Structure 1
Amino acid sequence: MPTYNKLVRDKIPDIIQVLGKSYNTRTLSHSEYTIALKNKLKEEVNEYLQAEHLKDQGEELADILEVVYALSAAQQMSADELDEIRRIKAQQRGRFEERVLLIDVQE
């Protein structure tokens, strides 16, 4: 039996059971959960970077967003609060739409 020891989406155990397989799980503490989410974020970013097809890239971006929302909730911040922070930063510092690459800064 493969050992995973990684955070999975809530319905994964149900899907495994429907497939007629058995599994073991446990509920993480808050601190373990935060660490697992950070590890999951790294995993999903790496999967996005390795995805070759546009559809797969979209799936991985959606996974990244799901983990980001879970991280914000773990820090007791709503998705709306997170988006407001994003909007403020975009207003103050801009977005990434103009594709600006900073080469250097002269002192």
Structure 2
Amino acid sequence: MGKLVRDKIPDLIRRDGREPVVTMLDDVAYREALLDKLLEESFELRDASAEQVPAEIVDVLEVLRALAQVHGQDWRDIEELADVKRAERGGFHDRVYLG
């Protein structure tokens, strides 16, 4: 079973002397693969060491940007919406947990 990878990964594999098996996904498969990748990257972030956290956050962010794009959303608009939602409902700084 394959997985979605960053665009330059096949080139890096070729530089190692190997030949990757690459498939270009249609729109539906791409959206599904992005959601799978978001879960994968989220789990990697959860399990990351303190030193690995920044790189894992970057990976999650890159998947989120791709998801916004595939759904026809401009990232700046997403950030503005996040600001509005944060102003209305707050963020997570206070560590409020309902249970």
Alignment TM-score, normalising by the size of structure 2: 0.94
- Whether 1:32 aligns to 2:1 is no
**Secondary structure of the corresponding residue to residue 43 of structure 1:** helix
Q: Could you tell me which of 39, 42, 50 is aligned with 2:39?
A: 42
Unaligned runs of 5+ in 2: none
Q: Does 1:90 align with 2:86?
A: yes
CA distance in 1, matches of 2:18, 2:70: 30
Looking at structure 1, the residues matched to 95 and 4 of structure 2 have their Cα atoms a distance apart, in angstroms, of 34
Provide the aligned C-alpha RMSD in A. Answer: 1.1
- For residues 51 and 45 of structure 2, the distance between their equivalents in structure 1, rounded to whole angstroms, comes to 11
Q: Secondary structure at the match of 1:48?
A: helix
Q: Distance in 2 between matches of 1:23 and 1:68?
A: 25
Provide the residue aligned with 2:54 in structure 1.
58
Q: Could you list the runs of 5+ residues in structure 1 that have no partner in the other structure?
A: none
Q: Whole-Å Cα distance in 2 between the matches of residues 41 and 99 of structure 1?
A: 23
- Tell me how far 1:68 sits from its aligned partner: 0.5
Identity %: 36
Q: Which runs of 4+ in 1 moved over 4 A?
A: none
Task: Report Cα offsets for 1:17-61 as digits up to 9, x if no partner.
Answer: 11111111011001100000000000001111111x212111111
| TM-score, scaled to structure 1 | 0.87
State which structure, 1 or 2, has the greater radius of gyration over its C-alpha atoms: 1
